[in-house]
Structure formats: C-alpha cells, structure tokens
Structure 1
Amino acid sequence: MLTLRKKNLNYKKIFLFIILIGTFLYMTFLDYDNIKLLIHNPNKEIQEVKKIIIKLFFSILGKLVIFFIILSIYMHFQRSLKIKRLQKRLSLWSKLSYYIDKIGEEVFNELTIGIIVINTTNNTIEWINTYANKIFNNPDINTSLNLINKQMAELLNTQDKEKQIVLNIGNKFFDCLYKKEFNVFYLFDVTQREKIQILYHQATPALIFLSFDNLENSLKNLDFSEQSQIKVEYLSAISDFFEIYESYLKQLSDDKFLLLLKREQLENMILEKFSILKNIRNISEKYKLNITLSMGIACYNLPFNQLAYYSQSALELAQKRGGDQVVVNIENQKIQYFGATKASLNTNSKIISRVNSEIIKDLIQKHHNCFFMSHKNPDLDAFGSMIAIYKIASSLNNNQDHYIIMDINLMEKNFQNIYEILNQENPNLFKNIIDVQKANKMINKNSLIIIVDNQHLEILDNKELLTLTDNVIIIDHHRSSEKIISNKFAYIDASASSTVEMIMELIFFLNHPVYISPLEATIMYGGMIIDTNYFTSRTSERTLEVASRLINMGAESQKIKLWLRQSYDQILEMNQLLSRMEIYMKKFAIITSNKPIDDRSFLAKVAENSLNVQNIEAAFVIGELSSTHQIGISARSCNDNINVQIVMEQMNGGGHINSAAAQITNANINDVVLELKTILKNEYQEGNENMKIILLEDLADKGKKEEIIQVNAGFGNYLIRTQKALLANPQNIEKLKQNKKIQEEKEQQKILLMTKLKEEIEDKSITIQIQIGPNGEMHGKITPKHIIDELYKSHNILLDKPKIILDNEINSLGIYKANIILKDNIIANLTINVKAKKS
C-alpha cells in the first residue's frame, strides 16, 4: 500500500513538471516575433536592437513573474490541502488516543490480567495494577519480589527474552509471563484450565494385576481346612486394604486378582508405599509360610486391552525381580519399584530348570556356532558361567566351533593370573577365547549369542555385536528391570546365588554328558564363593547342592583362596579408606576414594569389610574407575532391612537386595555422594515421614474409630482429605476427649434407662391370641413383631428393633419366656401367654 502511494506521488510530480515546462514554452512562443526580428535583421541600428532586447527582457520577466505567481498559488493550495488532511488526522488521532488511554486504563485496572513492573536494580516492585494487587494481597511498592513469590523472583535470572510458568497461588492458578526487555510480569487466570487438567489427570484409569508368590507350593502340605483359613486371612487383608481406595477388586484365580481404580487413588497408594506388602508378609510370618505379594500397575490413558498388557508386563517384571514388590508403570514417568525388602523367594522348582534346559538345548542345536559374553570387567561368576555354557554347547555340537568373547585387558587384575593358568592347563579352551574385534568378523545372522550374568545393554561387554544377529539368549541371576536386552529367550532367576548355579542346574537336566575339568570347576566354584561371600548370603539348598557337585568335579577351595588374596598395597589402601568412613543416619557407611581405582572389585571388598563395623547396616564405597573414568559405587548390606538394589537402581545401577553396584558417567564424587544421601534419606529416614491421626471410622489393620494411630504422612494426609481421619493436634485431641466424655455420660444415662425398662418389662406379661384349627394346630406363626406390638398395645412400652430370643419355639398354646436384649448385658425376661382366639 505504501509503495503504491509513493508511485502515485512520483507520477503527480512528473505530470506537474510537464505542465510547467509546457506553460513556459507557450509563453515564450508569444515573444517569437520579437526574437525572429532580432535574429533575421542583425543590421538594424543599435538603438532599435536595444529596444527590442529591452522589450523582450521585460516580456520574458513578466511571464516568469506570472509563472511563479501561478506556481505559488498552486503550491499554497497544495499546502492548504495537506494542512487540512493533517489537522483531520490529528483530530482522529486525538480521539483514538483518548479511547486507547481508556482501553489501556481498563486493561490495566479492570480486566483479569495482573501486571507487575520490576525495578531490576534491587528486584523490587516498581508498579502493580489493581488485579495483581488482589492476587498478592496488596503488597507495598518497593517490596522485594522474593517476598511476594519466589518462583517469580527466580525468573529474573533467566537469559531468555520471554519465559512462562504456571503459578499456584491460594486456590487459583495463573500463567505467569515474564518479559525481560521491559522487566514486566503478566499474570493470566487459568484456574479453570488447570482444574480440568487436574481432573483429567486424576481420572486416568489404572489397572493392577496382583499375584501371590509361591502360594501353591507353600500350602500344598497343609490340610484343606488350614489352607482355607489362611487363604481367607490373605483375602481379607487384600480386600480391607483396597476398600479404602474406592477401587474395584475381582479375584481371577486362587492366587491372582484384578484391581481397577483412578490415578488419584493410585498416587495415594504410592505415598503410602503399598503397606499391603508388609501386611501379607506379617500373615506369612505368623504361619511360617514363604508367601509374598507381587503387583504390576499400569496407568495410561489407553484402551483397557493395552492397559492390561502393560500391567501384565509389570507383574512379570516384579516376579522376575524376585517377587514381594510392586512395579508401577505410569505414562511419561520412569518405572518405579516398591517393596522387595526380603530376599527373592526360592521356589526350588525342578520343573522350571528342566523346561529351561530343554529350551536352551534346542536353541543351541539349531545354530551353527555360539558366542558367549558377559558384562564389562567380568568377575569370576561371569567367567565361570561363560565356561559352563561353553562346555554345554561344545558337548551338544562338538563338530562346531564356539567362542567366549572376553578381553584379557579389561578383566579384573586379581583374575588375570587365572586366565594365564587356563592357558597352560587347558589350551583347547584358551584358543577359543577371542576379543571383540575377532568376534565382529565371525558372527553372522545365523550365529547364537548367549549373554550370561548380565541383562543390561549399558554394561554389556560390547553392544555392537548384537546388531549382527537377532538370536540372543540371556541367563542371569540379577533382578530384572525394564531395560532388559532384546532376546529370543531369557532365563532369569533372582533367587539363585549366581549364574554358575543356574547353568550347573541346566547341565544336571540335560541328560547329556558334559565334561568339566577340575580347573574349570574351581573357576565356577570361585564365582559362587564371591557372589555368596563365602556362602554367607543368598545361600540356599540349591546353592549348596551345586557347590557339592563342583567339589566332586575337582573344585579346590584352597586355589580360590590363593587367587583372591590381596596385595600388601591393597590392604594398606583398604585400611586408609576404612579410616575415612562417614557414618550417615547412624547406620550407613559412606566411603570415598580420592585416588583412581584400577580394580572394580576392590570397591566391593572395602564395602564388605565395612559391614564388620558394629551398627552398620549398609555400606557404599565410591571411587573413580581408572579404566572408564566413570564414578563407580559398590553397595552391600548385611540384612534384608536395607535393599541396596533399590538404592542403586535409582542411580542407574542394579544388583541384588544385599549386593548391588552402579557406574555413573559425567559426574564427580561429591555430586554422587550428595545424590546417594538424598536417596537414602527419602527411603529410610524415620520420624518426618510419620504423623499421628484420629480415625473417624474403623479401618482394617489400622485401628478403630476415634483411636489415635501413627501412619505414613502421605497416607495420613489422604485419610484427612477423604474425611476418614483428623490430624491428632492438641485441639482435636482435646475435642476428642470432650466427645468421649459426652458419649460416656450418654452411655451411663442409657444404661440407667435400659435397667429401669428391664424392671418394668419383667413386672408385666402379655397375652397373644392366635387362631386354632379343628385339630388344635396353630394357624400362622408368632414373630418378634407380634411380641413388640402386643407389648406396646398392652403396656404402652415401645421398643426400637430389639433382639428377641425365645427359650422354645412357640408352636402351641401355653406360657413361654422371651429374652429381650435391650443392651449388652441388659436382658429383660418377658412372659408370653399364648391363647386361642375366640370365634
């Protein structure tokens, strides 16, 4: 539009210029005769020439004057028009400015938009409009923004030109937009939007599968009546617990249940940390049973068939991790784990081992060659289990070559001498131990990779090898997580002491000869010794049975003891680290090393030794690993009260309930220690997490109405919000005492009244007439209602739904005695005379 106006202006100027030139030429043409006379008669006298020139000069001058007068008139006219246009526009702008001022004033002061201007030199309020004043309860000018709202004060440090957050002030929500260029905050009321989002969030469906662990095996030796009694107790505990959360519970089988509820109730369960697990454990301990509860939870805004799939996957994960826990899978959140305070259940099922041995046997026989690998920095259990599965494959396919993938340079230094001994005593096996580079050239799509003692991609010896084939088997004794490597088959048993134990059980059920040399048996036995800490933890009947077989094969514990000896420098360094122990929360030992650690197992040894200190329940040893420059943590606990696996999983690690570890990239030791302390505080701090409440109704396994109990703070707040409890503060406790006193007085009055009523009833009798047949039989039946009605009719005594017990059934005419229970321990005896009704 602006370009078009400029073009029109240029055309006008050109047109005006042409008219002026034309006018000037026309006026000049009028003097043509004089000019012609002057040019064509040059011989005229000078006097006459002068006259012509003078005449011509004044003529042209006059024309020029007239020309400029006309031009001036035109320019004046144009200027007048422009002034009028400008005056008109100025008038319009004045009116518009007035309206804009009015609108601006209304926006600033009347509309629901809060505006705050900040003085950035001292971060105080410079100007605030009416609506913002209402939001923040009329703060004074020059008040520090930090005193008004800390979230807004933090926005002042942003580097962005604009930044927006949502504020929750009182019972309202506001979009808060900060414009750094103008140092101004805008607040828009979005309460309705946020409340709709909250309602949508709270109404998201959650589907839960519950399953009793080891129910059938634990009850099979009991008689039917005992089984029924125990099952009823378990079912009652589950029913009572979930009734609080307004959920729908459906039993699918003896040991499996379906639960439906909303996300709001699920979040309350999470706050309470699923105390149902403890309730079930208490019942099991009461009857000395090995039964626990596992739960898989999925909370997504999805169709129920997909929700059920996620929930079933979560339940399977809970069971793979050893049971006695809850796996919670909520949309857009990291999977959460609760429970697992006890060691994994040992089901001791020979059937499972037999079935798995057949599956693994079939898979090995289908493929031309097999490759065996484990985790980075393999320990004796990893090395021993790779040798064990290698021996199985070699026995089943002895015409094929199979390989163990392991880099000697990455092996823990204490075990490198074992590698050299193997080279001397078993060269045939030694030549089939290859590094990653060789394996990369040999593996094809038909090859089978068997991963032992590991199921996580992050710590796999080399994850690129998995891209060469889809044929992957996992055999591991660590608890599962959602990050398990993609596989064709996984055999995971968290109750096993070691992977060696699992593979040795497979060998037992193969029904195929597998020769294991004494040196190989010793290496495997060493793996079991390390993972069980000399058979002091995670040791079951299965463990000792496998250990016995290995000893029969020639395993020598004396050799293992020599292999595991530490150098003089290591012992000195260990003692130095132990002297720097920090005792946290009176039961956790935290030790940090200021030197790089060459041997990862050294951290574990320091942690094990730390548990020898009195009152230490768990130890965490932290140091930088020189081989990877990661921060390594080794965690150990001496009892099932502290689950170090749960702690390490929150730091992207894993392991067992009593033995776990983590490796953290791009971090320093101080930050790792701080994160560890935060996790320990959240998981195990007592006192601040509990609160006392007054129950407003009976709650199963918690207490009776008006009883004061102590519960988890999250659960307590939930009961208060749902009006099932009151906070047990001095005011409410005093009010409770007064109410109890009033109730006791009312109770005494009621007892006196009922006692008096009893005396009054026992002084009287009633007569009930009934129709009798020709043979003396009664027509009809005398009910408690007949007795109450007759008592009121005869003696004006009205009873409100009393319980009446007859000494004998009234089936004929005669005198009967009825017991009327007026109150506990107050029973009135009433005489009833049954007569025939007169015709």
Structure 2
Amino acid sequence: MKKRRIWATSPVYYLMAGFMLIMACLSFKQNKILFAVEFTVSVLAVAAVVVTDLHYRVHVYTAIRAARRVLSAEDQRDFDQFALPVAVLGNLGDIVWTNARFRDLFSEDEDSRGDNIAAYIYPKTLRQILSESGTAVSYGDKEFTAYGLRTGSGSVVYFVDDTYYKQIHREYREKRTVIALISFDNREELTRDSSGGEDSRITSEVEAVLRSWATDTMGGFLRRLTNGRYMLITDDLHIEEAKTKRFAVLDRVRAIKGENNLSATVSIGIGRGADTATQSEWHARQALDMALGRGGDQVAVHLRDGTYEFFGGLSKGVEKRDKVRTRVIAATLSDHIKSSDRVFIMGHTNSDLDSVGAAVGMWAAVTRGLECRASIVIDRNRSLATSLLNTFEHQPEYENMFITPQEALDQCTQRSLLIVVDTHSTSFVESPDVLRAIPRVVVIDHHRMMVTHIQNAIIFYHEPYASSASEMVGELVQYINGSALNKREATALLAGIMLDTKNFVLKTGVRTFEASAYLKRRGADTVEVKKMFANSLDTYKERSQLVAGAEVYKNCAIACSNWEFPNVRIAAAQAADELLSIQNVRASFVIFRTGNEISISARSLGDVNVQILLEEFGGGGHLNMAGAQIKNSTTSDVRKALIRVLDSKLAQASKREN
C-alpha cells in the first residue's frame, strides 16, 4: 500500500500563516503598534495551525498503532484479500486501514487513511451503522449494506455490495401492477338540459383526455366499465410520477365545459401497494368511494398501510337531485328500527344546532313515526346548543328524551340500534364508548369523507352535497312518516339548516329549500329560530374583539385569541362567519384556546376548500366550514403553521386556476 502524507490542515493554511508573519515583519519600521498587533495575530495563527495538525497526527498514528495491535502484519496481508470491503476506523471515525476491495470500490486504489468514513457513507452516520443491524448506503453508482463493530480502540466497518439485488427489488416495486378506477362525477348535471349530441360531445372529450393520459403519460391502458366508469391499469412507477405532477389530468378534464359553462370533473381511486391485482382493484374501489365522499374532483390513493393520500378536491361539489336513494334509505332504516329493542341517537362532541336538530328530528321519526323507544345521547355540559335544549325541558312528552353517555351504556343491549348524525368520524362522536358498545350503527352525515370514518355501519347515508344533517333528516322523515314532526321539532330541524347554511347563504341547493318548505308546513317558527341564535352581551363583545384583531393574509382573514372565556366556541364560530363579510376576504380562520387544546374555526365562501387546509392539522369538515383541534401547542405556533399551509395549498390552487 502506497503511503500518503496525512494533513489535518491544508498546506494553504501554513502558507497563509507564514505570509501573515512576513507582512508583520515588513511593517516593523513604519508602525510599531501595527507591527505588534499583526505579529501577535500571525504567531497565534501559526501556533493554532501547528498545534491542530500535531494533535491530529498524534490521534491518527495512535489509531494506526491500535489497528496494528488489532491486526498483525500477517493478518493485514491475509485480510487485505478479503472479498468484502473493510475499513478500520479510529475513535472519531477516521480511516486508519483499508483492504484492497475497499480501495477498488471507494478510493480507486488510492490510500484512504486520514479520511473520515463520513465521506463514504453520507447522509448516514457512523453511529447509525454501529447501532443498526445493516444500514443501506450508496457511493457513486454502487449500493451497499454497511455493518459496523466496535473495538477497544475504534471500530471496524465492512460493506456488502448488493447493487444488483436492490436494483431488482426497485424494478419489481416500480413495475408492480396498480389498478385505478375513474368516475365521471357530474355527467348527469352537465347534460341534463342539453341535447343528445351535447352528451356525446362531452363524454367523448372526457374519454379522449383519459385515454391519452392512460397511454401517453401512465404507460397503461383504459377500459370503459359502464357509462361514466373506467378502469386504468398501470404500474407503480407511473403513479409516483403522476403524484409529482399532482395528477394534472384533473385540470385537463376540468377544462372541458358544457353548454351551461359547468366544468367536467372526474374522481380517481387508486389501489397502491397491493399484493395481487384483485386486492389492488378492491383498494381502488375503497379509494374511489373515499374520493366521491369528499365531494369528487380529486384523486384518492389507497396505500399499503391502509392510509390515504389525496390530490385535488379544489372545486365545489354539484348537488345531486336524485331522491330515489333517500327513499330506499328511509325504507331500510325503518326496517332496522322496527327490529331493535331500543334506538339511541348521537351527534358529535361539542354538539351544535345542526347536530341536536338532526337528532331531535330522528327521535320524532322513531318515537312518533314508528312508535319505537328512542333516546338522544348528549353531554349537555359541552353542548353549544343550550338554547335549543332548553326548549324541550320541563315538557312531559319529552321526558327522558336526552340521556348521558353513561346512561346509554347502562341501557343498551346487543339488539339496540345507534344512529349517528352530523358526523361519520370515530374521533368526533359524542361518546366513543357508546359507539363501541352498540354493534348495529347507522350513519347520517353531510361532511366530506374522512379516513377515520365509521367502518362497521349497516347503513352509511353520506351526502356531501347536502347543506346539513338536518336537511338530510328532514328528507328522511318525509318518507318514514311525513306527519311525525310537530312545531317544536320542525323548528329544531330548521335551526340546524339555518346554522350550516348561514341563513340560506352558503351551501344551499334545491333540496335545501324543499326540506325547509316541508318543515315550514309542519309549523317551523323562524322567529323562534332567530331567538336561538341570540347571544349574551359578553359573547357579543368577545366576538367583536376577535373580529377587530384579525389580519388579512392572501385574502384570508386570521384572528387569534390567547385568552379563554365562556362560550369561546360560539364567539369564535360567529367571528369566523362575520369575517367573511369583509371585502376581498375569501376564507376566515379563528384560532382560540379551549382547555389544553388550540382550536381552529374556519369558514369560506366556496372559493377556498377549508376542509383540505384543516386536514393538515388533523381536522376536517366541509368545503366552506371546517374545524380542527391541536394538542400541546400555542396559538402563535398554530398561526405560523397555518400560514405555511396557506402558502403551500393556495399556491397549488392558483397553479390549477392558471
């Protein structure tokens, strides 16, 4: 092995230090003070360079002597021909000896002594190699698995060249078959009032875009399953490439417009990481259901660990007018209610007017419409609908209407039925214990689909296009028993609709007004609803302070409250609504503290999808109304995180618009 000079410090530094010393001597006659300063600095520089280099040499040569004690001269000759690359290191990771195979692969047959092993294993560290049982590293175009062993005076690292096998594994993973299912979301809405020729034009244009994307971009092929449904077969590599482009096919489809100037949209479900094609197709079905449940116009990717990735979902959903499904759901739900010994109805935690109103409507349909026993499970201490709850107090006909979660646990049986309204997430129900205790569950909800949705529901009535859960229940009651509601119960349902639509301003469709008209016929009192929205003077003042302290960032109003006060949730929600009335504000966010959590209440006019934004914080909701709770944080940190999310997501949205 050719011996190489070991330098701790580059020779350039020796030259620079010497040059400083010469310059100091030249200034001796002109300025003695300057000479003293320069001479002192130059001497210190020379001393520092020399001491550093000597110290390093002592360390290196000590390590070399230690290596000689570990490996005798004869051992070194024998080990030098070992088939695997081997390096003996000092305590600081400096190479003190290598065998021939190491020099062939890593240093082109040059002496590597004096180098640090970090140069050959970056970005991994020596500590990782010594603590793990095999660490993947790469150097140049080679890939290795590195193993390390500590010795009394240093460590030994050897490498297994497995480039070939890792390339095979990568090719296997990239060429694995992936199945995607595609749904033309709004074909019916685009062509409802148009001619047959318009239907053919739009369908053919959408299909042409999908076929071009499948063959030219995804390296696969497309097959039509039914009208508006397609199957794409491709591989994992092309899915990964499509992810980097944020599935630009969504934008290409959205550029196709009908006579009514509505844009075409598609939803895509992808089953990735499956072991077989059958499993991939099943995962693709689940992913497509998730994408459609979140409002469509997006891609949902089902990953190997059961989680999802989402792309798109920036456009508004289109209302579905078909009431056939509602009638079928009502008939099926009636059968399940009649076969149950007891029905429990439960909303979400921190229940609001929509949650309680929908629960009251279902209670009336079960007890008065089907003459079965029913109770509403609610924690009154955390409810935000106290004004509505008070209207049912001290009324003989509503005795035992509301019960606590503990009472529900004591009364439920295996033949009981639980109806969950205004949420579909296991994380947000009023009582997770009640949800686990009752095996038969029905879900009625309008929020966009979340990954944590209830899995074992016998009926999952999910309409992301509906304005509120109260609207959905109002429709169901008409098919269960149209005369089941009285004036007080109809007023409760109308209050829920007016809360979620902001007095019929946001998220309203034809079915919203039809349901409201039915409730009005049943005696719903708009004056009583107005009284339910009345606030105390203190809550009004707190709301005004939140609005006054708001700032506007990228057309989004952000307000923060560092103090906690009674009815903070109500004041924050109302402040978020009020901030939308400010000119050029497209979305509003109110950050406030509740106990040990930081909460965000978000609203939008529909241009910004606040659900996608708050999913970054583990929250969810609707396109124009969402919320989130963050533990172990501060309002300042949450505000900074929100700013980062706005920068990222709004930039993606602006690219799509352009």
- Structures share fold, TM-score greater than 0.5: yes
Return closer, same or farther for 1:685/1:225 CA change in 2, 3 Å cut-off: closer
Return closer, same or farther for 1:114/1:480 CA change in 2, 3 Å cut-off: same
The percent of aligned pairs where both chains have the same amino acid is 27
CA apart distance, 1:671: 4.9
Q: How many Å separate the matches in 2 of 1:290 and 1:506?
A: 31
Q: How many Å separate the matches in 1 of 2:577 and 2:557?
A: 11
CA apart distance, 1:639: 2.9
CA apart distance, 1:553: 3.1
After superposition, the C-alpha distances for 1:329-362 in whole angstroms (9 at most, x for unaligned) are 1213620122221222211112122211111122
Which residues of 2 match residues 2-151 of structure 1 at below 5 A? Answer: 99-107=74-82, 111-113=83-85, 115=87, 117=89, 120=92, 125=94, 127=96, 129=98, 131=102, 135=106, 151=123
| Secondary structure of the corresponding residue to residue 123 of structure 2 | helix
Which residues of 2 match residues 501-512 of structure 1 at below 5 A? Answer: 501-512=471-482
Q: How many Å separate the matches in 2 of 1:256 and 1:569?
A: 55
Q: Judge conservation of contact 2:575–2:590 (CA < 8 Å) in 1.
A: yes
After superposition, the C-alpha distances for 1:566-609 in whole angstroms (9 at most, x for unaligned) are 3443344344444554555x344444332246543433233333
Q: Judge conservation of contact 1:343–1:538 (CA < 8 Å) in 2.
A: no
Match of 1:600 among 569, 577, 588: 569
Match of 2:165 among 188, 193, 196: 193
What is residue 20 of structure 1 aligned with on the other side? none
What is residue 360 of structure 1 aligned with on the other side? 333
Q: Judge conservation of contact 2:365–2:481 (CA < 8 Å) in 1.
A: no
What is residue 344 of structure 2 aligned with on the other side? 371
| Secondary structure of the corresponding residue to residue 211 of structure 1 | strand
After superposition, the C-alpha distances for 1:481-506 in whole angstroms (9 at most, x for unaligned) are 33221211111100000001011111
Q: How many Å separate the matches in 2 of 1:345 and 1:505?
A: 18
After superposition, the C-alpha distances for 1:137-181 in whole angstroms (9 at most, x for unaligned) are 98987778777766335x65x798457542344433233445577
What is residue 621 of structure 1 aligned with on the other side? 590
Q: How many Å separate the matches in 2 of 1:139 and 1:428?
A: 93
Return closer, same or farther for 1:149/1:303 CA change in 2, 3 Å cut-off: closer
After superposition, the C-alpha distances for 1:754-786 in whole angstroms (9 at most, x for unaligned) are xxxxxxxxxxxxxxxxxxxxxxxxxxxxxxxxx
Structure 2 unaligned blocks of 5 or more = 1-68
Q: How many Å separate the matches in 2 of 1:417 and 1:270?
A: 48
Q: How many Å separate the matches in 2 of 1:570 and 1:132?
A: 75
Amino acid at match of 2:605: C
Match of 2:445 among 468, 472, 476: 476
What is residue 342 of structure 1 aligned with on the other side? 315
What is residue 222 of structure 1 aligned with on the other side? 194
Match of 1:634 among 589, 596, 601: 601
What is residue 580 of structure 2 aligned with on the other side? 611
What is residue 7 of structure 1 aligned with on the other side? none
Which residues of 2 match residues 655-804 of structure 1 at below 5 A? Answer: 655-669=621-635, 671-685=637-651
After superposition, the C-alpha distances for 1:693-750 in whole angstroms (9 at most, x for unaligned) are xxxxxxxxxxxxxxxxx999xxxxxxxxxxxxxxxxxxxxxxxxxxxxxxxxxxxxxx
Q: Judge conservation of contact 2:121–2:139 (CA < 8 Å) in 1.
A: no
Q: Judge conservation of contact 2:330–2:479 (CA < 8 Å) in 1.
A: yes
Q: How many Å separate the matches in 1 of 2:317 and 2:343?
A: 31
Return closer, same or farther for 1:571/1:106 CA change in 2, 3 Å cut-off: farther
Q: Judge conservation of contact 2:485–2:522 (CA < 8 Å) in 1.
A: no
1:499 aligns with 2:466: no
Q: How many Å separate the matches in 2 of 1:139 and 1:513?
A: 93
| Secondary structure of the corresponding residue to residue 458 of structure 1 | coil
Q: How many Å separate the matches in 2 of 1:393 and 1:224?
A: 45
Q: TM-score, normalised by structure 1?
A: 0.63
Return closer, same or farther for 1:637/1:220 CA change in 2, 3 Å cut-off: closer
| Secondary structure of the corresponding residue to residue 349 of structure 1 | coil
Q: Judge conservation of contact 1:597–1:624 (CA < 8 Å) in 2.
A: no
Q: How many Å separate the matches in 2 of 1:314 and 1:390?
A: 33
| Secondary structure of the corresponding residue to residue 457 of structure 1 | coil
| Secondary structure of the corresponding residue to residue 124 of structure 2 | helix
What is residue 558 of structure 1 aligned with on the other side? 527
Q: Judge conservation of contact 1:284–1:292 (CA < 8 Å) in 2.
A: no
What is residue 809 of structure 1 aligned with on the other side? none
Return closer, same or farther for 1:189/1:289 CA change in 2, 3 Å cut-off: same
RMSD: 3.3
Match of 1:458 among 427, 435, 446: 427
What is residue 421 of structure 1 aligned with on the other side? 391
Q: How many Å separate the matches in 1 of 2:88 and 2:129?
A: 19
Q: How many Å separate the matches in 2 of 1:606 and 1:356?
A: 37
Q: Judge conservation of contact 1:210–1:295 (CA < 8 Å) in 2.
A: yes
Query: Greater Rg, structure 1 or structure 2?
Result: 1
Return closer, same or farther for 1:672/1:507 CA change in 2, 3 Å cut-off: same
What is residue 366 of structure 2 aligned with on the other side? 393
CA apart distance, 1:511: 5.0
Which residues of 2 match residues 265-414 of structure 1 at below 5 A? Answer: 265-284=238-257, 288-289=261-262, 291-332=264-305, 334-398=307-371, 400-412=372-384
What is residue 51 of structure 1 aligned with on the other side? none
| Secondary structure of the corresponding residue to residue 420 of structure 2 | strand
Match of 1:489 among 454, 459, 467: 459
CA apart distance, 1:612: 3.7
Give the number of the structure with larger relative contact order, counting CA–CA contacts within 8 Å between residues 6 or more apart: 2
1:209 aligns with 2:209: no
Return closer, same or farther for 1:203/1:404 CA change in 2, 3 Å cut-off: same
Q: How many Å separate the matches in 1 of 2:169 and 2:306?
A: 17
Q: How many Å separate the matches in 2 of 1:147 and 1:591?
A: 49
Superposition misfits of 4+ residues, deviation over 6 angstroms: 136-149
Q: How many Å separate the matches in 2 of 1:325 and 1:551?
A: 37
Q: Judge conservation of contact 2:446–2:468 (CA < 8 Å) in 1.
A: yes
After superposition, the C-alpha distances for 1:500-541 in whole angstroms (9 at most, x for unaligned) are 101111122235521322x33222222112211222211111
Q: How many Å separate the matches in 2 of 1:185 and 1:192?
A: 21
After superposition, the C-alpha distances for 1:86-127 in whole angstroms (9 at most, x for unaligned) are xxxxxxxx9x955422123445xxx5525373654xxx7464
Q: Judge conservation of contact 1:133–1:139 (CA < 8 Å) in 2.
A: no
Match of 1:651 among 613, 617, 621: 617
After superposition, the C-alpha distances for 1:276-311 in whole angstroms (9 at most, x for unaligned) are 222222213565347421111102342322222221
Q: Judge conservation of contact 2:316–2:606 (CA < 8 Å) in 1.
A: no
Q: TM-score, normalised by structure 2?
A: 0.80
CA apart distance, 1:316: 2.0
Q: Judge conservation of contact 2:421–2:469 (CA < 8 Å) in 1.
A: yes
| Secondary structure of the corresponding residue to residue 523 of structure 2 | coil
Q: How many Å separate the matches in 2 of 1:190 and 1:98?
A: 30
CA apart distance, 1:654: 1.4
Q: How many Å separate the matches in 2 of 1:583 and 1:661?
A: 19
Structure 1 unaligned blocks of 5 or more = 1-93, 691-709, 713-839
Aligned length: 581
After superposition, the C-alpha distances for 1:651-709 in whole angstroms (9 at most, x for unaligned) are 3221111111122344454554454444434433369x98xxxxxxxxxxxxxxxxxxx
Return closer, same or farther for 1:184/1:112 CA change in 2, 3 Å cut-off: closer
Q: How many Å separate the matches in 1 of 2:535 and 2:511?
A: 30
Q: Judge conservation of contact 2:620–2:628 (CA < 8 Å) in 1.
A: yes
